[in-house]
Structure 1
Amino acid sequence: MTDTDCDNVAGVEDPDIHKRYLSISRVRNRINEELARDVEILEEHHSELLEELKDVVCLETDGENDD
């Protein structure tokens, strides 16, 4: 995420609701498009990097559930 998107999603300096939703939308698009494409490329060409990505993204949360 960009620094601005991080700040807006986290509510730093109380961004207006439009900026916050715009940042959330941008992040969601990156997850669904860019990250998905990156995973496909790593699956095919560099499984070790894919495992590193999984290790970071799929970290255990000490049994805590965000639901």
Structure 2
Amino acid sequence: MLVAEQTGLTQTQFNDLINSRPDYFRLENASDNMGHRNEKPGNGDLQDIINDINEFKRKRGIR
């Protein structure tokens, strides 16, 4: 994800972020994933995501 790179997360840190947000992310089978069946509509504003990542980094002591 580009925003993870922009905020300086490593792949391991990004994986930890995703795994710590089960209310945002979940495993899906290929058909549901490709059909975008269970996706929540987004508003295109990345600032909320950036703020969440920065809060995650702060709590974990990540610079």
Q: TM-score, normalised by structure 2?
A: 0.30
Q: TM-score, normalised by structure 1?
A: 0.29
Larger Rg: 1
Q: Compare the two structures and name the one with the higher helix fraction.
A: 1
